[in-house]
Amino acid sequence: AKSMRGNQYRLYRDNMDEANDKWLLLETKLHQALKKDLLELHYQPKIDLKTDTIIGMEALLRWYDPELGHIPPDRFIPFAEECGLINDIGVWVLGKACAQAKLWNESHNLRLRVAVNISPIHISTSGFVDMVKGVIAGTGIDPHLLEIEITEMSMLDYTEDLINTINQLRALGITISLDDFGTGYSSLNYLKKFPVDVLKIDRAFVRDIVPEKSGIAMISAMISLAHALNLQVVAEGVEEEAELNVLREHGCEYVQGYYFSKPLSVEDFTNLIVQSFTN
């Protein structure tokens, strides 16, 4: 029995070492990617359903590693949160997205609002608001054209500090969105306490719209709830015209999704702007 355990232990050790190596490799690579500007932002348009025009865009991280290939953000963001790189990534994304939005707006005479995803870990860091002020000053972006998306998860261990931070950001003119709404564990009670401007209804609910009646009831209830709380609504992951129609019918203000456009490279988004705003 003793030697058995010994074997098991060795097996365990080997697995651990392997996991450790992978971890270290990924951490080194992500660190390098950040330092050498190998991360890239793609932008997905947000559409105003009243006017059918682009009112802004969400910045989404892309990481291509020559050896590892494309690594999706769903995989490396949680990793970055664990290994402590997430704050540096957040600062980089914010700076990059604000500079790009400023450039697009100036060269095409627009007022598009850029949305940036910020990790709950990062936003809870002291000095976050000052950092954001620094980015605003450095890029010259109008803070009214900046939106910060935080996931519902952030609300889970909400503190007075977090509410304070959100209030300070809003006082600067920044829009705060609650991302992935409906998927977390937050009670409706949190919604009342959290000073957000926008609810982003998760794709999981949009997908359920058609043909299920109960799906429509859910969406309709979520939109009503948002409006009752004076919040705007964005539906995420709209892929079908039928989904769009239901959302429109129930008064959803904004949509994002493949139906209109996938997240686009800077070059492709520039083309989309030119195509959409010149006639």
Binding positions for ligand C2E, rule: CB under 6 A? 44, 60-61, 72-74, 77, 93, 117-119, 179-180, 203, 236-239, 256-258, 263
Nearer to Ca ion, 179 or 253 (CB): 179
Smallest separation (angstroms) from ligand C2E to the CB of 256 = 6
Smallest separation (angstroms) from Ca ion to the CB of 172 = 20
Nearer to ligand C2E, 39 or 218 (CB): 39
Which among 33, 277, 60, 210 is positioned nearest to 219, based on CA atoms? 210
Residue 119's binding partner out of Ca ion, ligand C2E, none, with CB under 5 to 8 Å set by partner kind: ligand C2E
Residue 60's binding partner out of Ca ion, ligand C2E, none, with CB under 5 to 8 Å set by partner kind: ligand C2E
Smallest separation (angstroms) from Ca ion to the CB of 234 = 9
Write 159-164 long-range contacts (CB < 8 A, 24+).
159/124, 161/124, 162/123, 162/124, 163/193, 163/194, 163/195
Distance, in Å, from the CA atom of 234 to the CA atom of 47, rounded to the nearest integer, reads: 9
Instruction: Lay out the site mask for Ca ion across 211-250 (x = CB under 5 A, - = otherwise).
Output: -------------------------x--------------
| By the rule CB under 5 A, 149 interacts with Ca ion | yes
Cα dihedral 86→55→129→176 (10° resolution):
-90
Kindly list the residues in this chain that would bind Ca ion in the complex (CB under 5 A).
117, 149, 179-180, 236
